[in-house]
Amino acid sequence: MTYHAVVSSSVLPRRGIAASLMALALAATALVFVPRPAQAQARELPDFTELVERVGPAVVNIRTAERGRASAQAGGGEIDEQMREFFRRFGIPLPNNPQPQQPRRGGPRDEDAEPQQRGIGSGFVLSADGYVMTNAHVVEGADEVIVTLADKREFKARIIGADRRTDVALVKIDVGSLPTVKIGDVNQVKVGAWVIAIGSPFNLENTVTAGIVSAKQRDTGDLLPLIQTDVAINPGNSGGPLINMRGEVIGINSQIYSRSGGYMGISFAIPIDEAIRVSDQLRASGRVIRGRIGVTIAPVTKEVAESIGLGKPVGALVQGVEAGGPADKAGIEAGDIITKVDGKMIDKSGDLPRIVGAIKPGAKTNLQVFRRGAHRDLAVTVVEFEPEKPRRVAQAGETQPAQPKTAIGLAVSDLTDAQKRELKLRGGVRVETVEGAAARAGLREGDVIVALDNTEVSDAKQFNTLAAKADKTRAVSVMVRRGEWTNYLVIRPAAR
């Protein structure tokens, strides 16, 4: 809107200079609304057409397939494959299938069967010689990957590498002279800036959605801090680019927050600078090498910080130290708070694994820790984070023994001696199924429970006895081993 002051010239010749100046001052306060032309207003609204024309040709659709898996039958109660991809990625339990598909009889062996469609995703071309970036969860477990270009050409792709910890994957198609995306500077991204996403939601190729950057450095518990937006992201968008108003890719659309299973206005993207670092390693060696120091950490609460004299709730609280690991050798103790790594401030606990992970294994680094009211410096040699072990898939006909569910929503089984040796544990139980309060607390199938309410767990029988005796009206703490790390989770009773 534009306002103009309207002054009548007739007041000047009839009055003295003082009166005229007064009249001018009064008249200047009389503002008349003059509407701006509609064309001028329209120029202030974002126009995405040029961006889409520029970036769209480099965005691809990705289909994956698996052998030895029966395809869904229409009307048979099977879940649509796009929705399966969504459920798998965001941890939503699959609904019970009222009409489970019967095993085929007299058909071909699984390894000889034709690949059956598994999921849909998106990606974008990084280099003209056919390297394509996408999400690791899009291609995880796939026996066949098909990339469809914007001009409808299809190519079989090979997986160069995938990193589940950052959810970044790199695939290659054998074709040249492809249109590519331009990589943007994440540090220049501002909250409130317009952004767009291009992808294949529900297999609807080259779909464009728009929104703004809602937050930066959003810590969701993943290895990387994510970009939060309100751009509509749905199943099939995973792996597609998040684009700024200069037509540059600033992120990979990866996750959403949802209570219903559908889009609810909160989406997350992997910052492109971190994704490029991962893809460079995948291209060079097929895997990502990270550093670690062998500690279990937790956030520092305001109450803890004040009570121990730290002041502000910063740093990472060391809950446990791996015996014989780098931190143990350096003299780090449980209860220490790591506040700096090589001079870089640890503002929150999630910063520690990200900073240490970027350090080359074998390098010596300096940690500042807060212990019993004072800061001290300790030198630690970073070692390599062990590569992820592939998930074991149960073979046909193989079943786990039935386990009774406890009152807190868990069914567990004993660890084998080999598993105990591998995990370096004396006891513990493996989580087989999760529901109810335990699922809400964040427990997952495959987790190993080491302690329940500060009582060390030895086997399934003892765990079930402890769970049965637990007070159903109060929260129950469990110490959980997941991969290389140990953490505490709290199972809270349902609200009455």
Residues annotated catalytic, as ranges: 137, 167, 238
In 95-143 the beta strands, taken as DSSP E runs, fall at 116-125, 131-134
Counting Cα atoms < 13 Å in the Cβ hemisphere of 416 gives: 3
Check if the beta carbon of residue 230 is closer than 8 Å to that of residue 212. yes
Amino acid of residue 267: S
> What are the tokens at 357?
């992970």
- Regarding beta strands 168-173 and 2-5, do their DSSP bridges make them parallel or antiparallel, or are they unpaired? unpaired
Burial grade of 71 (CB within 10 A; 0-12, 13-18, 19 or more): middle
Pairing label, strands 248-256, 182-183: parallel
CA gap 250, 182 in Å, rounded? 9
Nearest CA-CA partner of 72 in 63, 62, 84 = 84
Calpha distance 367→291 (Å, rounded): 14
Helix (H), strand (E) at residue 411: strand 410-414
Strand partners, 119: 64
Q: Is residue 339 within 8 Å of residue 369, measured between CB atoms?
A: yes
**Cα–Cα distance measured from residue 318 to residue 296, given in angstroms and rounded to the nearest whole number:** 6
DSSP per position, 209-221: EEEEEEEEEE--S
User: What are the E-state strand segments in 331-484?
Assistant: 337-341, 344-345, 364-371, 374-381, 383-384, 410-414, 429-434, 448-452, 455-456, 476-482
